[in-house]
Amino acid sequence: MIKNVCIFASSCNFLEEIYYKEAKELGALLAEEGYDIVYGGSCLGLMWACAGEAKSKGSKLTGIMPEKLKQFDVHTNYCDSFFETSCMRTRKAKMDEMSDALIALPGGFGTLEELSEMIVQKQLGYNNKAIVILNTNGFYDNLLKFFDDIIEQKFANKKAEKIYFIAKTPSEAIHYLKTYTQTDVEIKKEDIYSR
């Protein structure tokens, strides 16, 4: 059962308004469905737009931030629990440990790296969590085309398409979480090493 949803997202405050609008909409819907939030602990950008809105509607927030970012004083005091980690790697591990599903909103290199790691973790059978890519304003179109190219050119097996779900709207993301059933998408040895 999904209770804690991890949010990967930009911490930038200078994006087009549509990104903040959909992040807030997602946060409100997550709270409405009774989900709590695990996120980077920041008071900035899309991550705070989503988490802050969820908090205002009743969700509990778990913030997880590496010490170097905490030194920049970009954390929020509104988290119900807050963990400081030694580095980005331990931060990702803690976020993984504390969440049941994840949604990647538009973001930069950090979001891309977090999303990629969780896709590989699921591919290899280390988790079976719902992974949602929220494609606000077509932000991920080029990345998803690249994912298609990876599969088409056999750098990944076709089964990899089942690892993640692409949501066009926050409501589609929520519907996927509500109806998600854990399925075995682990790619076997012969899928990787055979023609």
| Secondary structure (3-state) at 155 | coil
CA angle 128, 155, 96 (to 5 degrees): 25
Q: Would you state the torsion angle of the CA atoms of residues 145, 146, 148, 149, taken in this order, to the nearest 10 degrees? A: 120
Nearest to 12, CA basis, from 68, 57, 74: 74
Q: What is the pLDDT of residues 153-169, one digit of tens each?
A: 999 888 889 999 999 99
Contact of 134 with 18, CB cutoff 8 Å: no
Distance CA(45)–CA(10), nearest Å, equals 6
List, for residues 9-22, the tens digit of each pLDDT value. Answer: 999 999 999 999 99
Ranges of each domain in the chain:
4-193
Whole-model pTM over 0.75: yes
pLDDT of residue 39: 98
The one-digit pLDDT tens for each residue of the chain (195 residues) are 899 999 999 999 999 999 999 999 999 999 999 999 999 999 999 999 999 999 999 999 999 999 988 888 888 889 999 999 999 999 999 999 999 999 999 999 999 999 999 999 998 889 999 999 999 999 999 999 999 999 999 998 888 899 999 999 999 999 999 999 876 666 777 776 766
Fold of 4-193: Rossmann fold (3.40.50)
- Give residues with Cβ within 8 angstroms of 13, minimum separation 6: 44, 45
